[in-house]
Amino acid sequence: MIVLAGLFGGGGWGAYLARKRGGTKADMAQYAAGFGIAFALLGLFLTIFIERMA
């Protein structure tokens, strides 16, 4: 669940940032993909850490 939250949250934040900076739809898609992947990876590491500690 943390991974999915990171994916969608990061994607939304990336698209918001691109739009705020005056980007086109392609820019918004690229930012959303990049931020989504980055935050999903962070969520994956966080999930693994939590599972190891439990």
- The model carries a pTM of 0.90
Tens of pLDDT along 12-39?
Answer: 999 999 999 999 999 999 999 999 999 9
Can you give the residue range of the structural domain that contains 14?
2-53
CA 8 to chain centre: 6
Structurally, how many domains does the chain consist of?
1
pLDDT at 54 > cutoff 90: no
The mean pLDDT value for 1-11 works out to: 97
* Short-list 46, 33, 53, CA closest to 1: 46
